[in-house]
């Protein structure tokens, strides 16, 4: 079976050898049997933080709106119709907890509850609804949610600004004046986690979310190590990725991303966050896989969060594409990946590093080498 191979071309990609280019897709990511359930949307992301007030200040400057503030919990919404898209609970240590996804029918929850033995319970945040709270192989929470109440959308610009092209002027006797303000967030779009066993986590997420791999990056040996997965909405186009699984020495949160309207929204939101003194991380730029315009920030608890706009969407006829993993393949223009994005082993990773086996260690080494290759040396 031939796998669609999409060679990513950027300055520096001519370093690829024929052997390297032959490898991606040689070990495909298998869909397996029918998933238990197919999710239809993101619901929310969940964190634990010591300082809820500071987190709220950042999230408001980032473009969210407080939906409900309790002494020990914070629920933030976007400008879309979800009652909340982000929840933080007070705790001693800053921790990523997990994420929630919407399912289409109550029967979906019943089936999952029956198959997993986990009870259906009420969602404790605004908007109510029912959920089945699952735990992924690394212990991250995955909630499947049904029946929460939508809220009225909030007013914000939802139309593109009229653009003047060299041979087509749409804006006459008028100006571009996007306001300096927080970048209004429409929704929680995706999150990226590192997983301690890529194959095991892929199988788990495929079964419990029904997701499809859109783009898969592979090592020089062809081993899949980074999967950008989208929801299967049938003929309805879905975002290029909603869940991204990355192989690594241990399990951890990498970043979460929130959709905004366009480049100007992101640009003015960027200035706004700088003005407020928050810490910038990476961007602006445009991704290659997914095509999003992006801008990454660090929240007060050092979690990476991303604004994005203009991402690709695909329906379920789109086939998985395989690529050689390297650093340059992650963005089309903008600054090089920040050094802080490099994966550093932690103490908790030691058992896996000792017991992972020779094959696993080889994969880790190949990933390390791939990420060490400087694709655009002039950016350093």
> Quick one: 37 or 257, whose CB is closer to Fe ion?
257
Q: Give the CA distances from residue 70 to residues 87, 102, 300, in Å, rounded to whole numbers and listed in that order.
A: 11, 24, 19
Q: Which is nearer to Fe ion, 272 or 282 (CB)?
A: 282
Among 295, 306, 310, 366, binds Fe ion (CB under 5 A): 306
CB of residue 319 to Fe ion, shortest distance in Å: 22
Q: How far apart are CA 217 and CA 363, in angstroms?
A: 12
**Beta partners for residue 198, in sequence order:** none
Q: Give the gyration radius of the chain's Cα atoms.
A: 21
What residue number has its CB nearest to Fe ion? Answer: 257
- Please, are residues 337 and 343 in contact by the beta-carbon 8 Å criterion? no
Q: How far is the CB of 246 from Fe ion (least distance, A)?
A: 11
12: its two tokens: 């520096």
Q: Give the total of residues touching Fe ion (CB under 5 A).
A: 2
Q: To the nearest whole angstrom, how small is the minimum distance from the Cβ of residue 239 to Fe ion?
A: 10
Q: Which is nearer to Fe ion, 120 or 371 (CB)?
A: 371
Contacts 24+ apart (CB under 8 A), 348-353: 348/250, 349/196, 349/249, 349/250, 352/196, 352/249, 352/250, 353/249
Binding string, residues 238-257; x marks residues near Fe ion by CB under 5 A: -------------------x
Residue 294 CB, nearest distance to Fe ion (Å)?
6
For residues 49 and 91, the answer to whether their CB atoms sit within 8 Å is: yes
Nearest distance, CB of residue 292 and Fe ion, angstroms: 7
Q: How far apart are CA 195 and CA 193, in angstroms?
A: 6
Query: Which CB atom, from 233 or from 289, has the smaller least distance to Fe ion?
Result: 289
CA 148 to CA 100: how far, in whole Å? 12
In the bound state with Fe ion, the residue whose beta carbon lies nearer, of 232 and 306, is 306
- Which region among 30-38, 93-101, 120-128, 300-308 touches Fe ion (by CB under 5 A)? 300-308
Q: Where are the beta strands (DSSP E) in 54-156?
A: 65-69, 73-77, 86-90, 95-102, 120-122, 130-135, 141-146
Task: Tell me which stretch binds Fe ion (CB under 5 A): 5-13, 172-180, 303-311, 316-324.
Answer: 303-311
Closest CB to Fe ion among residues 39, 192: 192
Residue 160's φ and ψ, nearest 5 degrees, are: -70, 150
Binding of residue 112 to Fe ion (CB under 5 A): no
Chain residues binding Fe ion by CB under 5 A are 257, 306
């Amino acid at each position: 079976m031939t796998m669609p191979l999409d060679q990513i071309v950027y300055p520096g990609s001519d370093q690829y050898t024929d052997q390297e280019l032959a490898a991606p897709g040689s070990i495909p990511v298998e869909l397996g049997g029918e998933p238990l359930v197919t999710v239809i949307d993101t619901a929310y992301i969940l964190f634990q933080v010591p300082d809820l007030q500071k987190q709220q200040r950042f999230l408001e400057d980032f473009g969210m709106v407080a939906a409900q503030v309790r002494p020990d919990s914070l629920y933030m919404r976007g400008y879309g119709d979800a009652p909340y898209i982000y929840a933080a609970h007070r705790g001693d240590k800053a921790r990523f907890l997990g994420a929630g996804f919407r399912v289409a029918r109550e029967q979906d929850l019943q089936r999952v509850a029956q198959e997993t033995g986990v009870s259906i319970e009420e969602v404790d945040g605004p908007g109510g609804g029912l959920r089945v709270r699952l735990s992924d192989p690394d212990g991250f929470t995955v909630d499947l949610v049904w029946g929460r109440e939508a809220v009225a959308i909030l007013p914000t610009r939802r139309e593109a600004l009229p653009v003047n092209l060299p041979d087509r002027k749409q804006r006459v006797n008028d100006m571009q004046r996007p306001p300096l303000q927080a970048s209004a967030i429409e929704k929680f779009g995706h999150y990226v986690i590192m997983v301690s066993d890529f194959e095991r986590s892929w199988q788990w997420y495929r079964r419990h979310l029904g997701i499809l791999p859109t783009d898969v990056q592979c090592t020089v040996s062809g081993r899949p190590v980074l999967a950008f997965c989208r929801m299967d909405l049938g003929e309805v186009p879905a975002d290029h990725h909603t869940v991204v699984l990355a192989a690594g020495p241990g399990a951890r949160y990498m970043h979460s991303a929130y959709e905004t309207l366009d480049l100007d929204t992101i640009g003015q939101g960027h200035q706004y966050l700088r003005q407020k003194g928050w810490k910038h991380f990476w961007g602006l730029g445009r991704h290659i896989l997914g095509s999003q315009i992006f801008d990454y920030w660090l929240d007060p608890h050092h979690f990476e969060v991303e604004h994005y706009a203009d991402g690709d969407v695909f329906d379920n006829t789109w086939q998985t594409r395989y690529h050689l993993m390297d650093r340059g393949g992650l963005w089309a223009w903008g600054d090089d990946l920040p050094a802080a994005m490099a994966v550093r082993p932690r103490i908790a990773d030691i058992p896996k590093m000792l017991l992972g086996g020779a094959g696993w260690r080889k994969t880790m080494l190949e990933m390390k080498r791939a990420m060490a290759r400087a694709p655009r040396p002039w950016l350093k």
